[in-house]
Amino acid sequence: MAESFFSLFTPQEIAKISSAGTRVSLPEGWSPIWEDTPADKAYIILSGSVSVRKDGEEVAQLGAGDIVGEAAILNRALRNASIVALTPLDLIHLSSEALMRLYVEMPSFHEALEKIAAERVS
């Protein structure tokens, strides 16, 4: 991916997105999202990096400004990958309700999620 999720927004939009969630910190090695589990949250990475793993194999690494966990919420499906912290993480935790509210209320958020989803499939 050429640009991060957060790079698609103005500072005012970032503030609105940030205020919709809860800031959390997780240690290295922690897995906040597990493959084949229900989609109840998404995270925007503020600092640190994660490994995206399918069937135990790394398929991508994501870092500051990226979002994880959104696809399963939007698709109303089980998680298709696990996320493992490669470093300590600072994140914005978005409940599925908060993510869907932003998706409906903010056209730019909706467009950004669609753009990220399209890039991850290709």
Ordered by where they begin, the domains of the chain are 6-116 (2.60.120.10)
Cα–Cα dist 58/60, whole Å: 6
So what's the pLDDT on residue 108?
94
- What is Dmax (Cα atoms) for the chain? 38
Nearest Cα to Cα of residue 78 among 121, 117, 37, 40: 37
- Kindly report, residue by residue over 39-62, the tens digit of the pLDDT: 999 999 999 999 999 999 999 999
**This model's pTM is above 0.85:** yes
Amino acid at 77: A
Q: Mean pLDDT across the stretch 97-104? A: 95
The yes-or-no verdict on residue 22 having pLDDT over 70 is yes
Nearest Cα to Cα of residue 42 among 108, 107, 117, 106: 117
The yes-or-no verdict on residue 122 having pLDDT over 60 is no
The yes-or-no verdict on residue 15 having pLDDT over 80 is yes
Share of the chain above pLDDT 70, in %: 97
Show the tokens assigned to 44: 């925007």
Q: Mean pLDDT across the stretch 78-90? A: 96
Local structure of 45: helix, strand or coil:
strand
User: How many Å is the Cα radius of gyration of the chain?
Assistant: 13
